Amino acid sequence: MFAALSQRRRLLLILLPVAGATQICLAHAILMESTPKINSTVQGPDLDITLRFNVRIDGSRSRILLVAEDGTSTPLTLAKQSKPNILQMHASGLKPGAYKLQWNVLAVDGHMSKGDVPFTVK
């Protein structure tokens, strides 16, 4: 029965035993620099994306989502890390409009952090 549930529901089941209500944000890895820059306008339709953090990042256990104006999100495939604190990826076929890069990264010391990079494609 457990296996028949979607991954999201399974996670909810895993997390529920100690559920409560609180609103907090863990903070550890900080985005020091990004391409595209936060709130910048870039030329489409192809885009090379680089995120530089203050600490070493476990790229294989991090997720970057490209969220379009209509809310649809696409996970981006990360290239092999050239430096331990840099994540690189490529997005193609971007239509003009507002986008958001949603990053969820795992630092090498085990702390998870998240954030957004909003930008516009002209």
Partner 1 sequence: MLVKLVDLFSFLSVVLRAGTLVFQSVLLGGVMFVLWTARYSPDASEDSIARVQASSWKLLRWSAVGLAVVQLFYLYVDSAVLMASADIPFRWVVGANFFLSGTIVLVAALFTALVAGGSKKVASRALPVLVLVIMSASVMTNHAASRLEQRLLLITLSSVHELATGFWIGGLPFLVLGLFRAKDLDTRWYITERFSRMAVLSVGALATSGLVMSILYIGSWGGILGTAYGIMVLAKATMLGALLVLGGVNFLLLRDFPKDQVMPRLRRLIEAEVGIGITVILTAASLTSQPPAVDQVSDTVTMGQLWQRFKPEVPRLSYRFLPETDPKISKPIQPSDPQAVNVDGTPLTPRLINNSIESESNHHWMGVVVLAMGLLALLARTGKAPWAEYWPLLLIGMAVFIVLFADTECWPVGRKSVGACFADPEVFQHRLAALVCVGFAVFELRVRKQKKENDPWAMVFPLMCAFGGAVLLTHQHAIKNVKETSLVELSHVPMGVLAVFAGWARWLELRLPEENRAIPSWIWPACFVLIGAGLMNYREM
- Interface residues toward partner 1, by CB under 8 A: 7-8, 11-12, 14-16, 18-30, 32, 54-56, 58, 60-63, 75, 84-85, 104, 106-115
Least Cβ distance, residue 71 to partner 1 (angstroms): 15
Q: Which is nearer to partner 1, 7 or 122 (CB)?
A: 7
CB atoms closer than 10 angstroms to residue 79? 15
Q: Which is nearer to partner 1, 15 or 122 (CB)?
A: 15
Q: Which is nearer to partner 1, 84 or 96 (CB)?
A: 84
Least Cβ distance, residue 51 to partner 1 (angstroms): 15
Contact, 90 vs 79, CB < 8 A? yes
Q: Which is nearer to partner 1, 63 or 95 (CB)?
A: 63
| Cα three-residue angle 68-74-77, rounded to 5 degrees | 135
Least Cβ distance, residue 43 to partner 1 (angstroms): 27
For the sheet containing 31-35, what is the strand order?
31-35, 47-53, 86-91
Identity of the residue numbered 45: P
Contact, 6 vs 85, CB < 8 A? no
Q: What is the DSSP letter of 94?
A: P
Least Cβ distance, residue 59 to partner 1 (angstroms): 11
